[in-house]
Structure 1
Amino acid sequence: MAAHLITGAGSGIGAVLATLLAKRGDELWLLARDARRAAELRERFPGAKTLVGDLADPAKLSWALGHQQPPVELDSLLHLAGIVELGQVGELPVKAWQEQLNVNLVAPAELTRLLLPSLRLAKGHVVFVNSGAGLRTSAEWSAYAASKHGLRALADALRLEEHEHGVRVTSVFPGRTDTPMQVKVHQQEGKEYDGGRWIEPASVAKAILAALDASRDAEITELTVRPGY
């Protein structure tokens, strides 16, 4: 039975992925920002274990995990949590930059660092669910795209560093997906939302599973998923 630690399991792609892994009988570890959220996740995913750590404050993750009991061996660390706030460079405040960089980039780096010993023991897999914005950007997407471009760089460096330890690293670049985050993006863009135009979360989750299930002689380094309509 494989053990997986997931961030962002409360909604969207993360919730679908957690459901699929639970149905396979795998062991779920779910990161929650606080105790209340952890209780909600345990109720939603019976049998899952939770850890509490606020990705918005990555400097405290070491302290938080040090007072809990993370898994000794970890088959995969799945980074799906993220936030977005659009705005022009001339108008976006420092707080918006810091919040997106913390949650989307610095926290994944710190969480990976803290869990690398467990990943090395299992010759595990780190999956960074990035974004199309990690490959290209548009007006008003500067801070979010910067965090996602950085996340790709993090993944590429980690892959080279951990190859000798048998740890695999995959970046997944979904296009617009029918999630609560996408609803928020449309609100910020001032556009009507039609979820049927975008990728279903299950489609991205299945792509992640394909990377996780690849035989040991192969490493899927990058996956791009685009709307098919």
Structure 2
Amino acid sequence: MGTYLITGATGGIGTAVAERLRERGHDLVLTGRSPERLDALAGKLRTGAHAATQLINPAAATAPPSNRTIRTIPLDLNEPRRLEASLALGGLPERLDGIVHAAGVVHLSPVAELEADEWIDHLSVNLVSAAELTRLLLPALRAVKGHVVFVNSTAGLRANPEWAAYAASKFGLRALADSLRAEEPTLRVTTVYPGRTATEMQRKVRAQEGQRYAEDDFAAPTTVARVLVAALETPRDAVISDVTVRPH
């Protein structure tokens, strides 16, 4: 049983990852902007279908269910400089088996209309906060040779018209992952590149594009979560460094 911190835990992919990790017996630290939504998710995960029933490592099943904890820490990723204080108030564990960076924002606009605040918002949430959280949590990760997962996007592989700010932040996230992998050889680092996924973010994107939103047109968040958790479960003699998940 391990402990995993998830950013954007109340979003589509973040929630799906939290559900899958919880089902497999792990402790969770859920982060997001809204305390109310975090508390609602934590309550859901403590009971019912998502209560812990399995373990990635069955031999580690020594702790009773009451010791399997879920913590919530409200974080505003628009304010990277304030993350250290927020984490300190949250009382994080000294050992952290993994971080899943699942938070993200997107607003489509041509470069000619993108103002500085929109660039700053994209970079703060999608890149700078991920870098700062990783830096702050490195001692806890190093203590157990942990795993860092960056939920990127296929926009981090190719930039399309009106996606400049979002793609730039995701290209930067790819560089962050690659540098971290080279600098921290005891850690495992994975970048997941989802294509269009059936989330509220995708609903907003389709509205910005003037197109209809149909859930069945996109990959399910649970599918992306399965791929991500499979990377976490990979035996320690290997690492899935990069994986792309596209709707079929």
For the superposition of Structure 1 and Structure 2, which TM-score range results when normalised by the shorter chain?
over 0.9
User: 1:203 and 1:34, CA in 2 relative to 1: closer, same or farther beyond 3 A?
Assistant: closer
Q: How does 1:1-229 map to 2 (within 5 A)?
A: 1-46=1-46, 47-163=69-185, 166-228=186-248
Is the contact between residue 149 and residue 192 of structure 2 (CA under 8 Å) also seen in structure 1?
Answer: yes
Q: Distance in 1 between matches of 2:21 and 2:202?
A: 24
Is the contact between residue 134 and residue 146 of structure 1 (CA under 8 Å) also seen in structure 2?
Answer: yes
Unaligned ranges ≥5, structure 1: none
TM-score, normalising length: structure 1: 0.95
C-alpha displacement of 1:34: 4.6
Query: SS at 1:90's partner residue?
Result: helix
Q: Distance in 1 between matches of 2:45 and 2:78?
A: 24
Q: Which amino acid aligns with 1:141?
A: W
Deviations 1:19-56 (Å, cap 9, x if unpaired)? 11111111111113254344233223224111222111
Deviations 1:123-182 (Å, cap 9, x if unpaired)? 10000000000000110000000000000000000000001xx11000000100111110
Q: Distance in 2 between matches of 1:129 and 1:32?
A: 15
Is the contact between residue 13 and residue 80 of structure 1 (CA under 8 Å) also seen in structure 2?
Answer: yes
TM-score, normalising length: structure 2: 0.88
Unaligned ranges ≥5, structure 2: 47-68
Runs of 4+ in 1 over 6 A off after TM superposition: none
User: 1:194 and 1:34, CA in 2 relative to 1: closer, same or farther beyond 3 A?
Assistant: closer
* Percent of aligned pairs with the same amino acid: 51
Q: Distance in 1 between matches of 2:109 and 2:30?
A: 31
Deviations 1:177-210 (Å, cap 9, x if unpaired)? 1111100000111111111111111111011011
Q: Distance in 2 between matches of 1:92 and 1:43?
A: 39
